[in-house]
């Protein structure tokens, strides 16, 4: 018997996986990709003109419209992978990518 205790085991048991590795629709919601991120978008609301470029360009659809009262789009950090496309495309240059501290 090996005395070495192993780490990095799977999230589920093979025998408990659903047949065909199938799932109910919408399972991507449970897959939080925010921890892939090395930098997060930080919005300067003073400069934001509520144009929606960040919302349109975001490849992961993490921006949510906060409505005509609030007049800005908010990144859902549970899913934002920190690619920085929003910061690149913002016409007012009001999104900064802030490096995540571990």
Distance from the first to the final alpha carbon of the chain: 37
Pattern 26-45, another protein, x by CB under 8 A? xx---x--------------
- Report the site for another protein in 9-28 (rule: CB under 8 A): 10-15, 17-27
CB of 102 to another protein, least distance (A): 20
- Listing DSSP states for 76-95 in one string gives -TTT-----HHHHH-TT--E
What the block records as the tokens of 40 is 């997060």
Contact footprint for another protein (CB under 8 A): 10-15, 17-27, 31
């Amino acid at each position: 018997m090996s005395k070495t205790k192993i780490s990095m085991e799977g999230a589920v048991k093979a025998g408990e996986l659903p047949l065909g590795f199938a799932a109910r629709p919408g399972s991507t919601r449970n897959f939080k990709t925010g921890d892939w991120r090395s930098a997060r978008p930080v919005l300067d609301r003073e400069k934001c003109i509520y144009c929606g470029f960040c919302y349109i360009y975001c490849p992961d659809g993490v921006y949510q419209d906060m409505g005509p009262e609030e007049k800005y789009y908010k990144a859902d950090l549970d899913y934002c992978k920190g690619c920085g496309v929003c910061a690149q495309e913002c016409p007012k240059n009001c999104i900064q990518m802030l490096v995540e501290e571990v």
